[in-house]
Amino acid sequence: MRATFAIQKFNPEIDARPHLEEYRLDVAWRGNTVLDGLFQIKHQLDGSLTFRASCRSAICGSCPMVINGRERLACQTLIADEIDRSGRIEVKPLRQLRVVKDLVVEMDPFWNKVNAITPWLTPKREAAFVRHARGEIGEVVIPQNVHQTFYNVDACILCGACVSACNSLDVSPGFLGPAALAKAYRFVADPREGERRERLERLTREDGIWDCVRCNFCVEVCPKDVQPMEAIIRLRREAIREGLTEHPGATHITAFMDIVRREGRLNEARMPLAMVWPNLFRMLKILPLGLKMFVKGKVPSFFQRPIKGIREIRRLFKLRETFK
Amino acid sequence: MKYALFTGCAAKGACPELYQSAVKVAQILGIELEELKSAACCGAGVMKEGDPDLSLAINARTFAQAEEKGLPVMTICGTCQGVLSSANKNLKEDAPTRERINTMLAPDGIAYRGTTEVKHLLWVLIQDVGLDKLRHAVKRSLAGLRVAPFYGCYILRPSKDLGFDDPNNPTSLEKLITALGGERIDYSGRIKCCGFPLILEKESMALAMGGGNTAEAKREGADCMVTPCPLCHMSLDIYQERAERQLGERLDMPIFHLPQLVGLALGLSEKDLGLSHHLVSVDAALQKIERQT
C-alpha cells in the first residue's frame, strides 16, 4: 500500500513559520500504525523529522498528535483506516502548546496545570488505611461501587490530547483544562481524601470547573475513554452539594432547575434575570440587549402557563428533593 | 412520515421563528407532525449537572408519551437532540437504569419500554425525505449563496450516542446546502462550540468562541451561516453585536435556522420564516438569492 504523509515541519532555529512537507512511502502491511509510518520516514526519507514516542502500545501517552484534523495517539491509529477515510495522512503537532520542533510540543504548561490541582492524596487524619498501616485495624477495602465512580478517570495517561482539543482553552489559556480537572475529580471522589472541601473551593475559583463549555471534544478525542467533561460535571455537582453555590455557574444550574420545576419548560425571560438577581448593576448591564430582543419579539412572556402535566414534573422534583 | 414533534424550549421562547419555519417546511415536504404539548424541557445538559436521574426521568416521560402515540420523536434543536439521544441510549441499553427510572415514574402510571426513536429534523430531511425529493421541491435555488454550516456541539458529540455524522468531518449540512443549490463554505469552526453555555456566566469566553467562529466563516467568504441548533443561533445572532465589539471587527453575518434556509429554497416568504425576529439583518443574503432569480 502506498501512503502519502503530509507532516507539519518546523525548526524554530531555521524556519520563519511551520510548513507541510509531503512524504510518499510503501507501507508493508495494513496493520502499520501512523507511528510506524513516522519511524519509516525518519529512517528512510528524512532523518530530521522529530517526534516523541515510547511504548508503541497506547499506554505511555507520548505520541498524541493531530492526525487528519483530530487528536489521536499515533501508535493507536492505523495508516489504512486514515487512507480509507481521508485519502492521505496529515500530521500536525498538538494545539494550545508551543511547538519545540516538528511534532514535539512544550509540555511544561500542561504539567503545571496537573500539578496545580495537587495530584496526590491528602489522606484523612485518621483514615482507615493509615490506621491499618499502624496495625490498629485489619485490611480496608474500598467498595467497588465507590471505586467505579472514578476508575475511568484513573485510566488517564496524561497525553494531552484533550487539552489540545479543548474549546474553552482555545479562548482562555489560563483554564485548568480537561486533563487536570479529571485528575482533580479522581481525588475529590476518593473516600480516603481528607481535603475534599478545600479542593472543591479551589476548583470553583477563576479558571476552574465553571469555565468548561461542555463541548464534548475532550470526551471525543480521549484515547482512554476518561471522559474528562463527565468528571467536570461531577465536580460541579459535588461543589453544589457542598454548598459552594456562589459562582454564577452554580446559579445557572439551580435557577434553571427551579424554572423547570415551576413551569416544566425553561422560561427565557426569567433565566437571565435569575442569573443577575438581585445585583442592580448587573441587571442594568443586561437591559439593553433584553430590550433589543423584546423589540424583535424574542422575549417570551414572563408569566408562562406551566405545561400540561406539570404535577408529574413537580412530583419528580419532590421525589429527588434536588431543589426545594 | 409522521413524527411526534418535540419543540424544545427555545422554539417556544426566544426563537419563535424556528418553530414557525419548521412547521411550514414540514408541511410542504409532507412530514406530518403531532406536537408533544405536555413534554417538559430536555434539561439542555444543565439539569444533568444538577441531578442526572431527575433529568433521565423527565426525558423518559417524554419518550413514553411518544411511545404511547406509536411515533418516533422529531427534534428541531441540536441541543435537545444530543441530550435526548444520550438519555434514550442510556434508557434503552441499560435495563437496570430503565427500571430505576420507571420506578420513579410509576406513581403517575408512566412507564417507558425503550422503543422510541429520536431524530433531528436535519436527519429526517436527509434520511426520510431524501435529498432527491428535496432537490425537486426547490422553487428558488440558493445558487450563488455561500453558506457556512455551523453544527453545534450536541448534534455531533458524543458521537457514540448520536451516531449520525462523523463528529470530525460531518457532511449532512453540506449535502443539504448543496441540494438547495447553495455553495458550501469549508472552515474549521463548523464543528466547534458557539459558546452559549457560558454566555450568562462568562460572556467574554462565549463571545470569543461564537464571534471567533463567525469571523472565520466570514474570512472564508461566507454570505451567511446555517445552524440546526437554536442555542447556537442565539449565540451567533443575538450576541453578534457584542462579539463584534469584543473582537473589534464588523461581522454582519446573517444566521439562519436550518428550516429557514430550507424554507427559502422552497419558496416560503420572509414572513412565513419569521426572518424579522433576527437581530442581525438577513437582507444581504436574501438580495443575493433574488439577484440570481
Mutate which: A211, A275, A296, A303, vs B, most B CBs within 10 A: A296
**What's the DSSP call for residue B186?**
P
Mean pLDDT of the A19-29 span: 96
Q: Find the residue in B nearest to A212 (Cα).
A: B198
**pLDDT above 70: percentage of residues in chain A:** 99
Question: Which parts of A127-192 fold into alpha helices (H)?
Answer: 128-133, 144-147, 151-154, 161-165, 167-171, 178-188
Residues of A in contact with B187 (CB under 8 A): none
pLDDT digits (tens, 9 = 90+) for B275-288: 999 999 999 999 99
Q: For residue B14, give the nearest of A220, A300, A308 by CB distance.
A: A300
Residue A323 has pLDDT above 60, yes or no: no
pLDDT at A49 over 80: yes
- Using the structure block, give the residue that is written with the C-alpha cell 484533550: A162
Which region, left, alpha or beta, applies to residue B233 given φ > 0 means left and ψ of -120 to 50 means alpha? alpha
Are the beta carbons of B22 and B11 closer than 8 angstroms? yes
Phi-psi region of A304 (alpha: psi -120 to 50; beta: other; left: phi over 0): beta
Distance CA B242, CA A123 (A): 47
B40: nearest Cα among B71, B84, B89: B84
Q: For residue A252, what are the contacts with CB-CB under 8 A and spacing of at least 6?
A: A275, B46, B200, B201
**Residue whose entry in the numeric block shows the C-alpha cell 471534544:** A217
Q: What is the CA radius of gyration of chain B?
A: 19
Residues of B in contact with A215 (CB under 8 A): 153, 157, 192-193
- Rounded Cα distance between A63 and B126, Å, is 38
Tell me, what's the pLDDT at A324?
42
Shortest Cα distance, chain B CAs vs residue A58, angstroms: 21
H/E element holding B147? strand B146-149
Tell me: pLDDT of B144 over 90: yes
State the nearest Cα–Cα gap between B196 and chain A, in angstroms.
8
Please give the mean pLDDT across all residues of chain B. Answer: 97
Q: Residues of B numbered 37-76 whose beta carbons fall under 8 angstroms of chain A's beta carbons: which are they?
A: 37-41, 43-51, 53-54, 57-58, 61
| Residue B284 touches chain A, beta carbons under 8 Å | no
Mean pLDDT check: name the lowest of A58-62, A191-195, B179-183: A191-195
Average pLDDT over residues A281-293: 91
Provide the grid cell at A29: 502491511
- Sign of torsion over alpha carbons A88, A94, A98, A99: negative
Going by C-alpha positions, the residue among A69, A63, A70 that lies closest to residue A33 is: A63
- Give the Cα separation of B80 and B87 in Å (integer): 10
Q: Burial code of B120-151, b = ≥16 C-beta within 10 A, e = fewer?
A: bbbbbbbebbebeebeebbebbbbebbbbbbb
pLDDT the model gives residue A322: 62
Dihedral in degrees, nearest 10, Cα atoms A261, A264, A267, A271: 30
Contacts of A9 (CB under 8 A, 6+ apart): A15, A18, A19, A20, A21, A49, A102
**Considering only A114-118, A129-133, B87-91, B118-122, which range has the smallest mean pLDDT?**
A129-133
β A70-73/A89-92 pair status:
unpaired
CB contact under 8 A, B13 and A266: yes
Among A66-75, A126-135, A179-188, B189-198, where is mean pLDDT lowest? A126-135
Closest approach of chain A CAs to the CA of B58, in angstroms? 7
B278/A contact by beta carbon, under 8 A: yes
Q: Do A171 and B202 touch (CB under 8 A)?
A: no
pLDDT, tens digit, 9 for 90 and up, residues B204-259: 999 999 999 999 999 999 999 999 999 999 999 999 999 999 999 999 999 999 99
Cell 511544561 found at: A108
Contact criterion met (CB < 8 Å) for A268 and B14: yes
Nearest to A48 by CA among A93, A1, A104: A104
CA atoms of B289 and B52, how far apart (whole Å) = 46
Q: Report the distance separating Cα B51 and Cα A321, nearest Å.
A: 10
DSSP state of A93: P
> Do the interacting molecules here have an ipTM over 0.90?
yes
What is the number of alpha carbons within 13 Å of residue B230 lying toward its C-beta? 30
Query: For A57-95, what is each residue's pLDDT tens digit?
Result: 999 999 999 999 999 999 999 999 999 999 999 999 999
CB pairs under 8 A between A and B: 170
Distance CA A64, CA A74 (A): 6
Nearest CA in chain B to A67: B168
- CB of A204 closer than 8 Å to CB of A247: yes
- Strands in B118-120's sheet, in edge-to-edge order, are B32-35, B2-6, B73-75, B118-120
Q: Let me know: does B204 contact A211? Beta carbons within 8 Å.
A: no
Nearest-angstrom CA–CA distance, B213 and B217: 6
> What's the CA gap between A248 and B134, in Å, rounded?
44
Contact B168 A68 (CB under 8 A): yes
B200 contact residues in A (CB cutoff 8 A):
248, 252, 271-272, 275
CB contact under 8 A, A316 and B9: no
Radius of gyration of chain A (CA): 25
Q: Between β-strands A2-9 and B146-149, what pairing exists: parallel, antiparallel or unpaired? A: unpaired
Task: Give residue A143's pLDDT band: very low, low, confident or very high (50, 70, 90).
Answer: confident
User: What is residue A70's predicted lDDT score, i.e. its pLDDT?
Assistant: 96
Give CA separation, A170 vs A67, A159, B232, B248, in Å.
18, 18, 18, 18
On whether the pTM is more than 0.80, the answer is: yes
B177: pLDDT strictly greater than 90: yes
Q: Residues with Cβ < 8 Å from B68, sequence gap 6 or more?
A: none
- For A190, A225, B105, the CA distances from A167, given in Å and listed in that order, are 28, 18, 37
Q: What is the pLDDT of residue B290?
A: 83
Q: What is the mean pLDDT of residues A96-103?
A: 97
Cell matching residue A93: 503537532
**B198 vs A217: CB contact, 8 Å cut-off?**
no
Q: What are phi and psi of A23, to 5 degrees?
A: -135, 135
Strands (E), chain A: 2-9, 19-26, 64-67, 70-73, 89-92, 99-101, 104-105
- Picking from B44, B54, B212, the nearest residue to A171 by CB comes out as B212
- Tell me the three state secondary structure of residue B255: strand
| Tens digit of each residue's pLDDT (9 = 90 or more) over B12-54 | 999 999 999 999 999 999 999 999 999 999 999 999 999 999 9
B100 touches chain A (CB under 8 A): no
CA nearest neighbour of B244 among B279, B207, B270, B280: B207
Q: Nearest residue on chain A to B188, judged by CA atoms?
A: A69
Which of A220, A268, A315 minimises the CB distance to B167?
A: A220
Asked if B212 has any chain A CB less than 8 Å from its own CB, the reply is yes
Q: Which residues of B are less than 8 Å from A240 in CB distance?
A: 50
Please indicate whether, in this complex, the C-beta atoms of A253 and B50 are within 8 angstroms of each other.
yes
Q: Which of residues 224-263 of B touch A (CB under 8 A)?
A: 238-239, 242
Question: Which residue shows C-alpha cell 434536588?
Answer: A322
Contact (Cβ atoms closer than 8 angstroms) between residue A312 and residue B61: yes
Contact A293 B14 (CB under 8 A): yes
What would the DSSP string read from start to end of A23-35? EEEE-S-TT-BHH
- pLDDT for A309 beyond 60: yes
Measure the CA–CA gap between B100 and A316, rounded to whole angstroms: 13
Asked if the Cβ–Cβ distance from A272 to B200 is below 8 Å, we say: yes
